[in-house]
Amino acid sequence: MRSLDRKLKAAFLISAALLSIVGLAFVHSAGSYWGQVHYADSSPFIVKQGIYMAVSIFAAFVLMKSPWTSNHTFWTVFYYITILLLVAVMIPGVGAVRNGSQSWIALGPFSLQPAEFVKVALIGKLAFSMKMRAGKSPFHISHFILILLPAALIMLQPDLGSAVIMIVSAFVILFIAGYPLSFFTVIGFAGIGGFIALIAAAPYRLDRIKSYIDPWNDPLGAGFQGIQSLFAIAPGGLFGHGYGNSRQKYLYLPEPQNDFIFSIIAEEIGFLGATFILLLFVVLLVSAFGIAIRTKAYPSFLITAGMASMIIFQTFLNVGVVSGLLPVTGVTLPFISYGGSSLLTTWMAAGVILHFAFNRKRI
């Protein structure tokens, strides 16, 4: 049994580390020309990503070792801090607008995206809230308030991708906690209605749906990113053009080091290389849920499964978008895409999983 524990922890750590190393390599490759054009330097993205990586791994180590990770008060405070940050983003002069969304707080040469942090905070807060209802019906109105409050604030930015990831991760916890299937059926129909309302409220989302169905209907507008992404993936073939030899990174695919970095990966190391990276995510998922199942306490199971679900669902969304299987939305690839907030929260989630892997009887 202990041997299995060690194997699960090793598999999780190795897959996370390898994915981060892949991220550093391809942030450098994908962002080198973009950096030369916009900053007269091919290295700004890899330098910043290296700093983000060091900070992220340190944060993961702290969460892994700290007893506060198993403390309800910690997650309550963390949750409400992220809510305050989401409110602060909407204040003129505090929140920074990028690509049409007011989702960042500028901190000199760096920036903070609160929507990323609230995903982690909500999972922890919700899992411990379930603990408070041990022996009672899991259904409680407070759970919906915890989910809907940050979801509404994120949608005001607007940032549909982050809101969907957060809600799905929270619903995984509700499902595991024993919410009835009828509840999810009702929520599913309500979600369809809400999705239609969101499209009606913001016509650009309808444009994205149209470009998803037929990107060639507007190849220089709404369909541009999707088309350019496929132009990167398809010519890559089995083995790719070779590391550093992407063609689409030469300003064809906008900011290729970010959301569409998987397109550059497939172009440079081909189908086989991209498949290997997806297999690393599979190993990460299996080992994370193996860790969750082997935890001894109910809240630790919920929080570990929730963190794993967040990482894997975000991976599914990102790969689905870049491969044309899903409509375009701004979602980063965990461990790999350029960005401090995304990388930090992904490693924080990993740190929480490792905390309960090493402390199976903590709570």
pLDDT digits (tens, 9 = 90+) for 145-203: 999 999 999 988 888 889 999 999 999 998 888 888 888 888 888 777 777 776 666 66
Task: Return d(Cα 233, Cα 22) in angstroms, integer.
Answer: 17
Write out pLDDT tens, residues 337-347: 999 899 999 99
DSSP assignment of 75-94 equals: HHHHHHHHHHHHHHHTSBTT
pLDDT (0 to 100) of residue 361: 60
Is cis: bond before 109, omega within 30 of 0?
no
- Confidence band of 238 (pLDDT split at 50, 70, 90): very high
Alpha-carbon distances, residue 92 vs 87, 104, 149, 183, 338 (angstroms) = 11, 12, 21, 39, 26
- Nearest residue to 288 (alpha-carbon basis) of 65, 16, 56: 16
**What does the alpha-carbon distance between residue 128 and residue 197 come to, in Å, rounded to a whole number?**
32
Contact 117, 82 (CB under 8 A): yes
Under DSSP, the state recorded for 112 is E
- Average pLDDT score over the chain: 87
Reading across the β-sheet that carries 95-98, which strands appear in turn? 95-98, 101-107, 110-112
288-329 pLDDT per residue, tens: 999 999 887 778 899 999 999 999 999 999 999 999 888 888
118-149 exposure pattern, b = at least 16 Cβ within 10 A, e = fewer: bbbbbbbbbbbbbbeeeeeebeeeebeebbeb
Q: Does the pLDDT of residue 362 top 70, yes or no? A: no
pLDDT, position 219: 76
> Is the confidence at residue 131, as pLDDT, over 80?
no
Six-digit token string for 296: 């001894």
Question: In angstroms, rounded to a whole number, what is the distance separating the alpha carbons of residues 224 and 318?
Answer: 17
| High-pLDDT (> 70) share of the chain, % | 93
What does the block give as tokens for 72? 């309800």
Residue type, 313: F
* pLDDT for the residue 101: 79
| Domain ranges, ordered by start, for the chain | 2-358
CB hemisphere CA count around 13 (13 angstroms): 14
